[in-house]
A = this chain, B = another copy of it.
Amino acid sequence: MDSVQGSASCVVPTAAARVRLRPLEPTGVQILGGLLGDRQRVNREVTIPHGTEQLERAGTFENLRVAAGRSQRGRRGMVFSDSDVYKWLEALAWETQRQPSPELERLATETTELVAAAQQPDGYLNSYWQLEGRERWSDLEMGHELYCAGHLLQAGVAAARAGSPRLLGIARRVGDLLVDVFGSDSDPRTDGHPEIEVALVELYRETADRRYLDLADKLTSRRGHGFFAGGRFELSYYQDVEPVRGSRSIVGHAVRALYLAAGVTDLYAETGDAALLDAMLAQWDDLVSTKLYLTGGVGSRHEGEAIGDPYELPPDRAYCETCASIASIMWNWRLLLVTGESRFADLIERTLYNGFLAGHSLDGRSFFYANPLQSRGGDARHSWNPVACCPPNIMRLLASLHHYLATVNDRGVQLHQYATSTVRAVVPSVGPVELAVETGYPWSGSVTVEVVACSDAEWTLSLRVPAWARRAGVDGAAVEPACNAEVTRRWKPGDRVELELDVSPRLTLPNPRIDAVRGCVALERGPVVYCFEQADLAAGANLDDVALRTDAAPTDSDPPARLGGVPGVSVAGVVRDVEGWKRAGYLDVRELPRDGAATPARLLAIPYFTWANRGDGGMRAWLPRFD
């Protein structure tokens, strides 16, 4: 198999691609510890084995066995269940690339053979459509056939980059079939659930077969002409309201919108079609200024799993599907490669430490599908779900997390996310560079970067300074937030740079147009959003009656019990007595009960992503202001 690039991370632009930054080589970054290292370890040791068990228990592997003629049992699960296997296979690929494992390699090989056996002679592969007696491609709106194919393609590309080309061969046969079936210029069809686009671009990158890129372009360009008119949902659900080129609003089903955006950005990178990038940058602005949760989560409505209207951001009914956070990280990574701008790495960070990490429990064995910013109690992660898209998506992101930390370009090396790690890059015209990063990030804002090896040519070390950092310094000199701080010199081994970011806890206010959290304030510490749980309140106090003072700065406090040592934050507030309101929904402004006592209280906040690890009491990320 021919490969355009020897590089092997999860996005590999071709040599001709319009990108300012490029991913590192296969094992360019190794995370050695800290929060992200711990999450990678739990993923490998607990979550992936748990996923293997659950895919067996749910019948998801079995469906492929039935399709392969190796089992007579009935098919089970959702129409898109095969994609759960493919995402899990992608996780195995990145994980075994990261660190060999005979057991994971055996599982991957066995399952790849099973997938091969289930594939039909013409390349078609989808256990639901093969077994349920329905005609192929007869329900593009909700049938998820190209969606499943997309995840297979991504898994095949990942496996090849990790050194196992077998799954890529299967994926190519699927890709070739798609080119045959959907490649005609006059064909108006596309898939109701985007995902194939981003996968086809990567398949092109891995195989240099331009037909895949062309098909990605066609499937993208067919959107916005009402192909799904008369379907079960409004056209926005499928991103079919208006053509992508020229579309400046991000709308509809959140995961669909964000997978599409990742694909469109990749398509821009490989085609240079500026209208695509214009649309993506406009949609990003629309997202960040009017449709983004503080946690980086996206999706305001359970109904239609949709991005809502501008400023429609309810904390309690937030959908913020874990898959949407993952898709957002995928999209922002591509925008970062294309533009080099720190704001995209900022959003990766916000999403990673909050909306994404909250999607699984600290022990790695249970999962949230929706990630609200407020719960009135009763919300608990599940060990699996009939719609199991999120858990294997979490697995593949955690297994490839190190891909998102650093990049390289002609001028040097860029660090975007901070973790204790080694970073190895080859800077063109400079040669190999090796860095050792040490930090307690995100809990500490001190990051030490030591040059371990390099030639004596001049190059630039670039360090992202997050927008949230009110004070930041590089080697003692103040730097502005919201940029990449650059240090250019002739480096020698042993040289060190110290980045200092102020992660002291801070209070955050919402845009006045966000109706749902009017009069509220949130608490953040570095990149981490905090929240309040009923579990941490004094007996008798109700989380819904708590308010925060904004005239006193929050302070660090001891790690809360049973949360693995993450730092707590202490903040001044009150517990209000709303007894006078009992039984009244609404009262005449002139007949209000006198406010009862507002009892001062010292309130403990915990990182948002650790919520619901100590029972299913209430939780709030936004609390009313008391001032």
Interface residues, chain A, with chain B CB atoms under 8 Å away? 285, 288-290, 292, 294, 301-303, 308-317, 374, 376, 468, 470, 506-522, 544-545, 550, 576, 578, 581-592, 624
A588 contact set on B, CB distance < 8 A:
468, 470, 506-509
A511–B314 touching, CB < 8 Å: no
A509 contact set on B, CB distance < 8 A:
586-589, 592
Contact of A294 among B288, B301, B313, B586 (CB under 8 A): B586
In angstroms, Cα B314 to Cα A550, docked, is 25
A519 contact set on B, CB distance < 8 A:
518-519
A583–B518 touching, CB < 8 Å: no
A291 to B, closest residue via Cβ: B585
A518 contact set on B, CB distance < 8 A:
518-520, 624
A288 contact set on B, CB distance < 8 A:
583, 585
A312 to B, closest residue via Cβ: B316
In angstroms, Cα B586 to Cα A301, docked, is 20
For this complex, 22 residue pairs linking A to B, each with C-beta atoms less than 8 Å apart, are A285-B583, A289-B582, A290-B585, A301-B303, A312-B376, A314-B516, A316-B515, A317-B317, A374-B515, A470-B588, A507-B589, A508-B587, A509-B589, A510-B586, A511-B581, A511-B587, A512-B576, A512-B578, A512-B581, A513-B578, A515-B516, A518-B624
In angstroms, Cα B521 to Cα A578, docked, is 18
A518 to B, closest residue via Cβ: B519
Contact of A317 among B290, B312, B520, B587 (CB under 8 A): B312
A376 contact set on B, CB distance < 8 A:
309-312
In angstroms, Cα B517 to Cα A519, docked, is 10
A309 contact set on B, CB distance < 8 A:
316, 376
A545 contact set on B, CB distance < 8 A:
512-513
A314 contact set on B, CB distance < 8 A:
314, 317, 516
A581 to B, closest residue via Cβ: B511
A510 contact set on B, CB distance < 8 A:
585-586
In angstroms, Cα B588 to Cα A509, docked, is 6
Q: Which 4 A-B pairs have the closest CB atoms?
A: A519-B519, A302-B303, A507-B589, A289-B583
A584–B507 touching, CB < 8 Å: no
Chain B nearest CB from A625 CB (Å) reads: 9
Chain B nearest CB from A114 CB (Å) reads: 30
Known: A512-B581, A513-B581. A550 touches B586 (CB 8 A): no
B590–A470 touching, CB < 8 Å: yes
Chain B nearest CB from A289 CB (Å) reads: 4
B289–A513 touching, CB < 8 Å: no
